[in-house]
Structure 1
Amino acid sequence: MRVLGVDPGLTRCGVGVVEGVPGRPCTLVAYYVVHTDPEDELPLRLLHLDRSLTDLVAEHRPDSVAVERVFSQHNVRTVMGTAQASGVAVLAGARAGLPVQTYTPSEVKAAVTGSGQADKAQMTAMVTRLLRLPEPPRPADAADALALAICHVWRGGTRSKLAAAAERVRRGRSD
């Protein structure tokens, strides 16, 4: 399974692509950080993000997209930009006809490190180790996006299979 993970942000949006199957180590395909200029008008920034993510989906042809779920932060301005970037990421996956799954930061941390309370340094170290990279992916937005993709391979693949099985059972009972 190939997964494109997105750590949404309006100024810096991390994107990571991995391949793998549940229970096995993943393989790095690529990672990026899409930048937008804070001096630009919001519509231009969102358009740049949309075009960049759409191009990356077309280039890497993932089987699914994993996006960090936006949670409440103290800085309303930051959470608004993150939410807008998240919406663009979800749209890019949906427009390509791909399943899109969102994960909370603690779900990703638990999947990758075993602890939902892991800090950025622990996350980056585990992503580096799990993908067998010679050095940590930089900046942290890229490492976070790769963690999202790994989380989806390990958890989302299983979640999707369970949902498909439940749907088959549901259809079988209604016939």
Structure 2
Amino acid sequence: MRILGIDPGTAIVGFSIIEYIDKKINLIDYGCIYTAKELPMEERLLQIFNGIEDIIKKYSPEHMAIEELFYFKNNKTVISVGEARGVILLAGKKNGLSIQGYTPLQVKIGITGYGKADKKQVQLMVKTILKMQEIPKPDDAADAIAIAITHANSLTNLQYNLGSSASISTENLTKTKLSAAEFRELLLKK
């Protein structure tokens, strides 16, 4: 199966295409879509949409994994990235992709196993997982690769497997928040 990984932005959108077959991950392509800050936002969004559609048409992925928005200090930045993320999601949905979002924390855990890993540690693990000679550049493309790998891992990992967790009965739960140990115990009882 092919997975399109996306690190959303307005100036730079990182993308990656990986192939996941027999629990092996192969990097097919990666790079960035760039937009000029002098252009009106609607033109930039159109360029992003068209760029994502071109990638989808070229590589025919079945899945899109995209980074979820997280807290930004600048409200203007979060709004513009949200707009870019919206047109990216639209392109994925229009082309029939299965779409899943991942927080930066989920990506860090999915790649390194450690939620407080820094960007360099994530990039080194991407390089190691894919047996690359160098860390992929630019950073936005490397992040998109990490997001795609996280999705590939999540498809077979019980922690993120929505199908497995959907079959768990929550009828007898007495609280709304569970610790990791309590969740694991709930999974084992099903």
Q: TM-score, normalised to structure 1's length?
A: 0.88
Asked whether the equivalents of residues 101 and 156 of structure 1 are also in contact (C-alpha less than 8 Å), the reply is: no
SS at match of 2:97: coil
Structure 1 or 2, whichever has the larger Rg, is 2
Partner of 2:67 in structure 1?
68
CA distance in structure 2 between the partners assigned to 1:136 and 1:25 by the alignment: 19
Matched, 1:149 2:142: no
Percentage of identical aligned residues: 37
Greater percentage in helix: 1
**Offset of 1:163 from its aligned partner?**
7.1
Asked whether the equivalents of residues 70 and 103 of structure 2 are also in contact (C-alpha less than 8 Å), the reply is: yes
1:61-118, CA deviations, whole angstroms, 9 ceiling, x for partnerless residues?
1110001001121111221121111111111110001110001000011000111111
Asked whether the equivalents of residues 21 and 154 of structure 1 are also in contact (C-alpha less than 8 Å), the reply is: no
Asked whether the equivalents of residues 31 and 138 of structure 2 are also in contact (C-alpha less than 8 Å), the reply is: no
Change (3 A) 1:5 1:48: same
Partner letter of residue 86 of structure 1? R
Asked whether the equivalents of residues 2 and 17 of structure 1 are also in contact (C-alpha less than 8 Å), the reply is: yes
Q: CA RMSD in A?
A: 1.8
Partner of 2:164 in structure 1?
162
Matched, 1:12 2:12: yes
SS at match of 2:30: strand
SS at match of 1:20: strand
**Offset of 1:145 from its aligned partner?**
0.2
Q: Structure 1 unaligned runs (5+)?
A: 167-175
Partner of 1:127 in structure 2?
126
1:6-43, CA deviations, whole angstroms, 9 ceiling, x for partnerless residues?
00000010001111158x34110100100000010000
Asked whether the equivalents of residues 18 and 25 of structure 2 are also in contact (C-alpha less than 8 Å), the reply is: yes
CA distance in structure 1 between the partners assigned to 2:15 and 2:167 by the alignment: 30
Runs of 4+ in structure 1 off by over 6 angstroms are 163-166
- Give the count of matched residue pairs: 165
CA distance in structure 2 between the partners assigned to 1:87 and 1:117 by the alignment: 28
Partner of 1:111 in structure 2?
110
Asked whether the equivalents of residues 25 and 131 of structure 1 are also in contact (C-alpha less than 8 Å), the reply is: no
Q: Structure 2 unaligned runs (5+)?
A: 169-190
